[in-house]
């Protein structure tokens, strides 16, 4: 373990990416994510990697997909408007099963919104931003250390499942500084995409090997490999045959859903005896923990579930928490996005309260504490 270093959240993201083996970054400057691109411009070339500033965000994610197809772990970083421009190519990466990581540092919106102030308004866009049915993995750090660790996890998940993975960071976490103890390289577990073991003449690029994740050669390795954004058969060629489309779509989803139990990431605080529990993520989870500690000091049985993965939604953890709760409080810096997921799985188990703030200012511990006190009556 290396000595502690003072890092900004965005800096921790880029260091996590480098530690995960990222060797290609394409992006376009946008606040409040610009530190990631600037850091990559300095730190990638000495590692033998490549940094390219593209003409826009559409081109950025396109270059990332191309580099990944060529065998490199690849990433981009952006914020709301740029994230919107990337959606079509995120869909391409999902259907062509191209590993890549997208960091979205959330700011106020819609449209240009408020470029330098925080929000949590991109939750549903991260899940459903690109059209059609598609699986996606979305992670959400609430500390600088988690920016580092979850970025590594994002690369590992992307490589393991051959899918785009999104890291949602709100502006406060991206720009705060905390002391972080970075692990040494030999302490970091890295995952590489599955590679074909058979000779090129036997290779079928999208055949299910039993794991739901076909092996992926790099373009230029000698394997015949057709890539398309159309629904395709096992050889990668477009198809409209129902007997080929349905198994393909089922495999896209099943390769992630089969590991649902392994993708239930969250941390609980003081939930052993709590009847009122809070579900939060990002910077709001930090405020919620402070409010919970104060409430418990005042004799109120309150707990917290901090979400680290938003999609696949942590349904199992939330359901277990609901079984022990009379009320669930969901504070978030939007009009109510994660609360919709909480309500979806609630099914009458307990009462759901929300606390929404859309002034592009963080929700404070005092605001959450006031809501707790109001619920207690």
**Does the pLDDT of residue 4 top 90, yes or no?**
no
**H/E element, 53:** strand 50-53
Round to whole Å and give the CA distance between 152 and 156: 6
pLDDT at 18 over 70: yes
Predicted local distance difference test score (pLDDT) of residue 304 = 98
Query: Among the three residues 187, 220, 250, which one is the final residue of a domain in this structure?
Result: 187
Residue 245: inside a domain, yes or no? no
How many domains are there within the chain?
Answer: 2
Claim to verify: residue 162 and residue 35 sit in the same structural domain? yes
Nearest-10 Cα torsion for 332, 91, 20, 209: 120
- Which of 136, 157, 187 delimits the end of a domain? 187
Domain edge (last residue) among 150, 168, 187? 187
Confidence of residue 377 (pLDDT cuts 50, 70, 90): confident
Report pTM: 0.97
| Contact present, 69 and 99 (Cβ < 8 Å) | no
For the stretch 71-129, pLDDT in tens is: 999 999 999 999 999 999 999 999 999 999 999 999 999 999 999 999 999 999 999 99
- State the average pLDDT for the chain: 96
Domain assignment of residue 116, given as a range: 4-187
Radius of gyration of the chain (CA): 21
CA atoms within 13 A on the CB side of 270: 22
pLDDT at residue 1 in the model: 54
| % of the chain with per-residue pLDDT over 90 | 98
CATH number at residue 69: 3.40.50.970
Tokens standing for residue 364: 């404070």
Q: Is residue 166 part of a domain?
A: yes
258-299 tens-digit pLDDT: 999 999 999 999 999 999 999 999 999 999 999 999 999 999
Tokens of 95: 């259907």
Q: Is residue 131 part of a domain?
A: yes
CATH of the domain at 366: 3.40.50.920
Close Cβ partners of 138 (under 8 Å, ≥ 6 residues apart): 123, 126, 127, 165, 166, 167, 168, 309, 310, 311
> Both 50 and 173 in a single domain?
yes
Q: Dump pLDDT digits (tens) for 186-202.
A: 999 999 999 999 999 99
Handedness of CA 218, 220, 223, 224 (dihedral sign): positive
DSSP state of 221: S
Asked whether the beta carbons of 257 and 250 are under 8 A apart, the reply is: no
The yes-or-no verdict on residue 3 having pLDDT over 90 is no
pLDDT in tens, 168-189: 999 999 999 999 999 999 999 9
Burial 88-115 (b: 16+ CB within 10 A, else e): ebbbbbbbbbbbbbbbbbbbbbeeebee
In a domain, 214, yes or no: no
């Amino acid at each position: 373990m290396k000595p502690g270093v003072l890092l900004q959240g965005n800096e921790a993201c880029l260091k996590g990416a480098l530690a995960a083996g990222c060797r290609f970054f394409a992006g376009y400057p946008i606040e409040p994510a610009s530190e990631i691109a600037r850091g990559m411009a300095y730190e990638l070339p000495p590692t033998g990697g490549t940094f390219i500033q593209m003409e826009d965000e559409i081109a950025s994610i396109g270059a990332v997909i191309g580099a990944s197809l060529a065998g490199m772990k690849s990433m981009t970083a952006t914020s709301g408007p740029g994230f919107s421009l990337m959606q079509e190519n995120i869909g391409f990466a999902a259907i062509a099963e191209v590993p890549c990581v997208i960091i979205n540092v959330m700011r106020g919106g819609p449209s240009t919104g408020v470029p330098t102030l925080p929000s949590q308004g991109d939750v549903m866009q991260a899940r459903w931003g690109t059209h059609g049915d598609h699986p996606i993995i979305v992670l959400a750090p609430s500390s600088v250390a988690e920016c580092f660790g979850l970025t590594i996890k994002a690369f590992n998940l992307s490589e393991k499942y051959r899918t785009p993975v999104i890291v949602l960071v709100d502006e406060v976490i991206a720009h705060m500084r905390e002391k972080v103890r970075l692990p040494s390289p030999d302490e970091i577990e890295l995952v590489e995409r599955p590679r074909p073991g058979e000779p090129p003449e036997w290779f079928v690029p999208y055949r299910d090997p039993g794991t739901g994740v076909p092996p992926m050669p790099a373009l230029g390795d000698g394997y015949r490999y057709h890539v398309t954004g159309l629904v395709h058969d096992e050889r990668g060629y477009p198809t409209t045959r129902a007997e080929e489309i349905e198994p393909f779509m089922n495999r896209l989803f099943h390769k992630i859903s089969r590991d649902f139990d392994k993708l239930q990431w969250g941390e609980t605080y003081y939930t052993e005896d709590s009847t009122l529990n809070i579900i939060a993520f990002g910077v709001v989870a930090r405020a919620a923990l402070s409010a919970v500690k104060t409430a418990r000091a005042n004799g109120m049985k309150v707990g917290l579930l901090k979400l680290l993965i938003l999609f696949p939604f942590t349904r199992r953890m939330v359901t277990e928490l609901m079984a022990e709760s009379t009320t669930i409080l969901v504070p978030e810096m939007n009009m109510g996005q994660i609360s919709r997921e909480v309500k979806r799985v609630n099914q009458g188990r307990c009462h759901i309260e929300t606390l929404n703030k859309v002034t592009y200012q963080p929700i404070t511990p005092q605001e959450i504490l006031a809501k707790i006190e109001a619920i207690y009556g």
